[in-house]
Amino acid sequence: MEDDFNFQELDMSWIHDFEKEDGLYKDFYLEDLYFINVHYVYLNESNTIEKVKKDKYFFNEFHKNILPKEELFKIIVKNKNLTNEKYKLNCLFKYNCTIDPYIIIAFLKNKTLLTLDPNNSYLSPITSIENVKFKKTITMFQDLNSISIIYQKISGPSNNPSNNPSNNPSNTNTNTNIKTKKLYIKKYNRKTRRFYI
């Protein structure tokens, strides 16, 4: 029959070429984020970095690419104290790498200068405790996405161990000859006038 089609004669090489080409760029597709890095930076009174910690936050399947404000608040409060010293929140920053995959692919093909979008700022401040939304990111760049929490040491007597009365040996009751002053409260008999209706 003339309508019979011989699939063996069909050129399928383009499918293999496509799969091979697609395999080269599978790491450059935009995808939802699985996690973000959380950086904790602790500054002293002179704005010098004392310590830096790093943690990961894994996104919930119900909040894709979103860090809820409740979770953000918990993270800030949980890590505001370092050893025996207290810190307060100074500022917050979000880094979201949203580079276009076509820029990366064009660079790989042509080896031309990799130019980023000047209108796109990857680093942005967080000015209030609210839901933090992240955009999809190229797979191989997902570990760049992060939130940086900057803490400032609280200056004052609360952070000075020598100012703590319990740590001051001179405040311990070792002297048995301490004189106490007695206070007397006098009672006055006041006559009250009763009114009858």
Spatial CA neighbour of 32 closest among 62, 54, 3: 62
With beta carbons less than 8 A apart as the criterion, state whether 95 and 123 touch.
yes
Question: What CA–CA distance (Å, rounded) separates 75 from 176?
Answer: 49
Spatial CA neighbour of 94 closest among 116, 69, 121: 121
Contacts of 107 (CB under 8 A, 6+ apart): 113, 114
Per-residue pLDDT of the chain (197 residues; tens, 9 = 90+): 455 555 556 666 666 665 565 555 666 788 999 999 999 999 999 999 999 999 999 998 888 999 999 999 999 999 999 888 999 999 999 999 988 887 777 766 766 555 555 556 899 999 999 999 999 998 889 999 999 999 999 986 656 555 555 455 555 554 555 555 555 555 555 555 554 44
Question: What CA–CA distance (Å, rounded) separates 142 from 145?
Answer: 6
With beta carbons less than 8 A apart as the criterion, state whether 150 and 39 touch.
no
Q: Which two tokens stand for residue 10?
A: 């069909």
Residue type, 190: R
| Tens digit of each residue's pLDDT (9 = 90 or more) over 173-192 | 545 555 555 555 555 555 55
Residue 136: C-alpha distances to residues 60, 64, 82, 86 (Å): 15, 10, 33, 36
In sequence order, what are the beta bridge partners of 137?
31
In sequence order, what are the beta bridge partners of 86?
81
Q: Are strands 85-95 and 137-138 parallel, antiparallel or unpaired?
A: unpaired
CA neighbours closer than 13 Å in the CB half-sphere of residue 60: 7
Sequence spans of domains, the chain: 50-157
pLDDT computed for residue 19 by the predictor: 59
Buried b (16+ CB within 10 A) or exposed e, 101-132: bebbeeeeeeeeeeeeeeeeeeeeebeeeeeb
